[in-house]
Amino acid sequence: MITFGGSGRAVHSRVAATGLRFSFYAALCVVLMFADQRGHWLDYARYALSAAAYPIQLAVDSPSAAWHWLRENFATRETLQADNARLRAANRELELRTLRVEALETENAALRGLEAALPDVAERWLAAEVLEVEVSTLRQRVIINKGATDGVFKSQTVLASGGLVGQVMRTGPWSSEVILITDPEHAVPVQVLRSGLRTIAVGQGNTGVLALPYLPVNSDIRVDDLLVTSGLGGVFPAGYPVARVLDVGRDPGQPLAQVHAQPLAAIDRDRELMLIWIRPGHPAAPLPGEEAAR
Amino acid sequence: MNVRVREPRGALLLSAFIALIFQVVPLPGWLSIVRPAFLVIVVIYWSIAAPRAGGLIVPFACGLALDVFRGAVLGEHALALTLVAFLTMRFHLLIRNKPLFEQALIVFAVLTLYEFVIWCIDGWSGHTLNSGLRWLHPVTGGLLWPIFYGVLSRTHRPR
């Protein structure tokens, strides 16, 4: 047997040991995968690991955070004034729009025969900042800087200023992963606001497009129709805007229409997202006990 | 005769950490598709150049870190990365003595194997994505291998 001078270790035993160790690690990986996939026993381990990953996520985010900080701190007087004027105008417009909301709410309650107007479906809001964006054709996810210690929970609705953005997929102690509505693995139950038609909007792996693949050729849908969440599926509350129809292709030879819609929220540009807590028992709240819409 | 060679453990851990950051840092659109698998290439390099420095525990730990960052099934990247490290360690003497061009081809093949393992596990765990774009990063990885080799071989005393 060949040995290294004096060490007494055989060449072959070293190679065999590597093979043995590899089998050990491979078996460990397979056990981990089964435990994670089939049993969901590893939720605590994942929770701890995502806590360990949080500093690295912060480090990865630090260049863009520094850039934003610099831009905010060295903004010129002119840009600030322009921003201020724009925000004032937007605020005035919103004020004018909400002037009649209270009157409409009481009217609506009267029409429905209710004692008092219903409160908003969202009970509480929390603003979260995007730490890390993973936007490619394969995955559309973002990491946000709010986690289970802030009360964030799995399959919570995530909104941005324009409309629906996605849902919380996994929570860590200080951060959580949000799957966007444009992820190829995500589908949102939607309703056409104009006609009440219900369907499903599926992500395409492109931040600008959602597909509506399950609509018959003769269905009542037009370009510029607004799609809102339908409240079915048990995840999203009803009535939040999702997307606007971009194009409707009707080929008489095909049973289904080719419909595409553009998400209303600026999914790849917004750094600030809103998490909402739904008032339980509200008519617009998703029905509990239903399977998640993933 | 029994010369103790200092294993470049510090360089290994530091380069693996930097590669992890490069692999998860968000990049826009096409860049994120053609981005080489930094961490996998670094693991391949160290398996060839210093197979006894990290053993299999470092590839395993790197794979788990990738699983956490990618939100994949725990053990997915760990298995693929351990397999890649084992194969390259097993044949490190053969690969080490090849010219850079042939090494790049081998790295391309190994990266494709890595992606194949990931693809299989993705299919098993129900994340099937029929996009051909996932097979693109081994090409860039193979093309950039000489650069990785040049940079990483400067961090330790080659044998």
Q: Is B27 among the domain residues? A: no
Query: In this prediction, what percent of chain B has a pLDDT beyond 70?
Result: 91
Provide the domain limits for residue A145.
Answer: 122-294
Tell me the CATH number at A183. Answer: 2.40.10.340
Q: Does residue A98 carry a pLDDT above 50? A: yes
Listed range (A100-104, A133-137, A159-163, B8-12) with the worst mean pLDDT = A133-137
**Which one is predicted more confidently, A4 or A72?**
A72
Look at residue A6 and tell me if it is in a domain.
no
- pLDDT band at A1, cuts 50/70/90? very low
Residues A75 and A215 in one domain: no
Rounded CA-CA distance A293/B98 in Å is 52
Would you state the pLDDT for residue A123?
81
| CB < 8 Å to B63, chain A | 29
pLDDT on residue B19: 92
CB pairs under 8 A between A and B: 109
Domain count for chain B, please give it.
1
A107 falls within a domain: no
| Per-residue confidence (pLDDT) for residue A89, from 0 to 100 | 94
Q: How far is B58 from chain A (nearest CA, A)?
A: 11
B131 to chain A, any CB pair closer than 8 A? The answer is yes
% of chain A at pLDDT higher than 70: 86
Helices of type H across chain A: 11-34, 43-73, 77-99, 101-112
Question: Residue B56 and residue A19: Cβ atoms within 8 Å?
Answer: no
**Residue B25 domain-assigned?**
no
| Closest Cα in chain A, distance from residue B29 (Å) | 6
Q: Indicate which of B2, B23, B30, B73 best probes the interface with A, i.e. most A CBs within 10 Å of its own CB.
A: B73
Residues in B closer than 8 angstroms to A57, CB to CB, are: 69
How many domains does chain A fold into? 3
Q: Supply the pLDDT for residue A292.
A: 43
Judge if A145 and A277 occupy the same domain: yes
Residue A78, token pair as written in the block = 């002119």
Q: Using CB atoms, which residue from A35, A136, A177 is nearest to B33?
A: A136
pTM, two decimals, is 0.75
Q: What is the DSSP letter of A216?
A: B
Establish whether this prediction's ipTM goes over 0.90: no
Q: Is residue B23 part of a domain?
A: no
Q: Which of residues 95-124 of B touch A (CB under 8 A)?
A: 121, 124
Distance CA A58, CA A62 (A): 6
CA atoms within 13 A of residue A175's CA, in its CB half-sphere = 27
Of B57, B91, B74, the C-alpha closest to A22 is B57
Interface residue A66 vs chain B (CB under 8 A):
no
Q: What angle do CA A241, A242, A245 make, to 5 degrees?
A: 110
In a domain, B133, yes or no: yes
Burial class (CB in 10 A: 0-12, 13-18, 19+), A214: middle
Instruction: Round the average pLDDT of chain A to a whole number and report it.
Output: 82
What is the distance between the alpha carbons of residues B53 and B55, in angstroms, rounded to a whole number? 6
Same domain? For A201 and A63 the reply is no
User: What is A11-74 written as a DSSP string?
Assistant: HHHHHHHHHHHHHHHHHHHHHHHHIIIII-TTHHHHHHHHHHHHHHHHHHHHHHHHHHHHHHHT
Confidence of residue A8 (pLDDT cuts 50, 70, 90): very low
User: Do A81 and A180 belong to one domain?
Assistant: no
Q: What is the pLDDT of residues B110-128, one digit of tens each?
A: 999 999 999 898 888 877 6
Highest mean pLDDT among A73-77, A217-221, A279-283, B110-114: B110-114
* pLDDT at A152 > cutoff 50: yes
For the cut 60, the answer to whether the pLDDT of residue B15 exceeds it is yes
Question: Is 50 exceeded by the pLDDT of residue B1?
Answer: no
Indicate yes or no: CB of A170 within 8 angstroms of CB of B71.
yes
Q: Is the pLDDT of residue A5 over 50?
A: no
One-letter amino acid for residue A125 of the chain = W
* Contact state of A32 with B24 under an 8 Å Cβ cutoff: no
Measured CA distances, B42 to B20, B21, B97 (Å) = 9, 12, 18
CB contact under 8 A, B1 and A137: no
pLDDT at A4 over 50: no
Task: Report, as an integer, the average pLDDT of A84-103.
Answer: 88
Among A233, A195, A231, smallest CA distance to A215 is for A195
Residues A288 and A145 reside in one and the same domain? yes
Please, are residues A53 and B68 in contact by the beta-carbon 8 Å criterion?
Answer: yes
Mean pLDDT of B82-105: 92
- Count Cβ atoms within 10 A of the Cβ of residue B43 and give its class: 0-12 exposed, 13-18 middle, 19 or more buried: buried
Q: Residues A97-101: what's their mean pLDDT?
A: 83
User: Is A132 at the interface with chain B, CB within 8 A?
Assistant: yes
A82 and A144 within one domain: no
Reported as a pLDDT band with limits 50, 70 and 90, residue B4 is: low
- Please indicate, yes or no, whether residues A37 and A52 belong to a single structural domain of this protein: no
Q: What is the pLDDT of residue A39?
A: 67
Report yes or no on B89 lying in a domain. yes
Q: In this structure, are A36 and A57 located in the same domain?
A: no
Instruction: Say which DSSP state A86 is in.
Output: H
pLDDT of residue A172: 85
Least trusted range by pLDDT, from A172-176, A205-209, B5-9, B95-99:
B5-9
Would you say residue A180 lies in a domain? Answer: yes
pLDDT digits (tens, 9 = 90+) for A255-265: 899 999 999 98
> What pLDDT does B81 receive?
94
Bridge partners (DSSP) of residue A229 are: A190
Tell me, what's the pLDDT at A173?
A: 87
pLDDT of A136 reads 66
Find the mean pLDDT for residues B87-97.
Answer: 90
B132 in contact with A, Cβ within 8 Å: no
Residues A164 and A61 in one domain: no
Same domain flag for A22 and A53: no
> Average of pLDDT values for A61-85?
84
Residues A266 and A150 in one domain: yes
Q: Do A138 and B129 touch (CB under 8 A)?
A: yes
Candidates B1, B60, B86; nearest CB to A5: B1
pLDDT of A75 > 80? The answer is no
Residue range A47-57, pLDDT digits in tens: 888 888 888 88
Residues 42-101 of B with CB under 8 A from A: 55-57, 60, 63-65, 68-71, 73-76, 78-79, 82-83, 86, 89-90
Partner A contacted by B8 (CB < 8 A) = no
| A260 close contact with B: CB closer than 8 A | no
Q: Which domain, by its residues, includes B68?
A: 9-14+34-153
| Residue A42 C-alpha, separation from nearest chain B C-alpha, in angstroms | 8
